[in-house]
Amino acid sequence: MIKVSVMYPHKPEARFDHAYYRDKHMPLVQERLGHVCRFYTVDKGLAGGSPGEAPTYVAMCHIYCDSVDAFNTAFAPHAQEILGDIPNYTDLTPVLQISEVVVGQP
């Protein structure tokens, strides 16, 4: 299993609409990816590693799929629509990482 992490770096003046991201953008992503998206999670950054420190990321999502190929095949036809929705909730540029899930528990 792989995990596609999309992370939005915290910047003090940046705009991020968490409600839109949670309620509209991520359901859109899940709908377009279909069964390839086994499940996803959404995180809202609260704090950094030290007391009073801002979070490293204001928000993240993690999309779980069977393989990189499956994700790429499902994402490609909808990339323009999904990426085009980003300005509706933020002015940040996301950072993407694809990881192999080595261990996990429900």
Identify any residues that bridge with 9 across adjacent strands, giving them in sequence order: 57
2-47+55-93: CATH topology: Alpha-Beta Plaits (3.30.70)
Each domain of the chain, given as residue ranges in start order, spans: 2-47+55-93
Supply the DSSP string of 9-61, one letter for each residue: E--TT--B-HHHIIIIIHHHHHHHHGGG--EEEEEE----SSTTPPPSEEEEE
Instruction: Categorize the per-residue pLDDT at 103 as very low, low, confident or very high, splitting at 50, 70 and 90.
Output: confident
pLDDT for 104 beyond 80: no
Joined together, the tokens standing for residue 73 give 């095949």
Give the predicted TM-score (pTM) of the model: 0.92
Q: What is the pLDDT of residues 37-91, one digit of tens each?
A: 999 999 999 999 898 899 999 999 999 999 999 999 999 999 999 999 999 999 9
Q: Read off φ and ψ for residue 29, nearest 5 degrees.
A: -60, -50
Q: What is the pLDDT of residues 21-35, one digit of tens each?
A: 999 999 999 999 999
- Numbers of helices and strands, H then E, in the chain: 4, 4
pLDDT at residue 106 tops 90: no
**Residue 101 clears pLDDT 70, i.e. is over it:** yes
Residue type, 88: N
105, pLDDT greater than 70: no
Report the C-alpha gap between 102 and 89 in whole angstroms.
32
